[in-house]
Amino acid sequence: MLNGILPLYKPRGMTSFDCVAKIRRLYQTRKVGHSGTLDPNVDGVLPICIGNATKAVQFLVASGKEYQGSITLGFATTTEDLDGEEIARQAVTEPFTNDEIDAALARMTGAITQIPPMFSAVKVNGRRLYDYARNGETVERPERHVTISSFKQRQAATYDPSTQTQTIYFTVACSKGTYVRTLAVDVGKVLGVPAVMSDLTRLKSGGFTLDETVTFEEIAAHVEAGTAGALLAPIDKALGQYPRVTLTDEQWQRVKNGAFITAAEGHQTDPDANTMVALVYQNSLKCLYSYRPDEQRYKPFKMFAVN
């Protein structure tokens, strides 16, 4: 059975679940999971975990994301992007200067609070928000605390005098759980006009960049040639932030049965250091162990392989 992370290029027009279903068929396995939903109208990096790598999904999801896209000022929609129905329009009679736009983006940088859009997969009382929205119902939405580490223009904004709208072109680096659609709307609020996210591509996720991704056409060709496994990155790729500890034969015999290891075996010398270590045996990452300072030893946190 194949194990690893497939850096998929998700095309527009497919849901993330559609992508998982197609990968299951191509790789002929049910053990497939993705690391963070992309809306159907968004393309870009979507890491797909296969086999034992599905145990690493939570670590890929937790990683920061980078996007590039555009925000159009002058109207708003129900979905905060171009897929929804228009609900507000206000002519931009005088285009905003690049300095004004830069200042608005800067105000959205750092630790911020977001309210998820009604057309989103967030669950409230066991139902997804988009279910409420499709039924014309409203419900109180939970706040989300996210971090925007960078939010900048990537080229000068453009103005369309015929529609009296203005388009901002941006790149953003953000924490997990960030709704870029909502960022777009909030930029409009700062500038005093309705706004929508008019384009979005994910540039980076789970440590993978856009130029590392593979398309469905490339995957199909590798499957046909019997080389589909060559497209998979090792689980290590999702766990690069954790210090490596190489196990001896004797230690691995204990670890694969879930035994604790001592602070010294985990190279723990600083109580304030990273409390998680990745244990490696014969150049293969086998598991994550978490340090228990009260016991001065490491215990299993996540096992990826026992052979």
**Residues involved in catalysis:** 39
Q: Of 55, 34, 56, whose CA–CA distance to 45 is shortest? A: 34
> Do the Cβ atoms of 139 and 119 come closer than 8 Å?
no
Residue identified by tokens 């500038």 is: 191
Between CA 90 and CA 87 the distance in angstroms is 11
Q: In what order do the strands lie in the sheet with 284-292?
A: 244-246, 276-281, 284-292, 297-303, 261-262
Residue ranges of alpha helices (H) inside 135-267 are 180-191, 216-225, 249-255
Alpha helices in the chain (DSSP H): 16-27, 57-62, 98-107, 129-134, 180-191, 216-225, 249-255
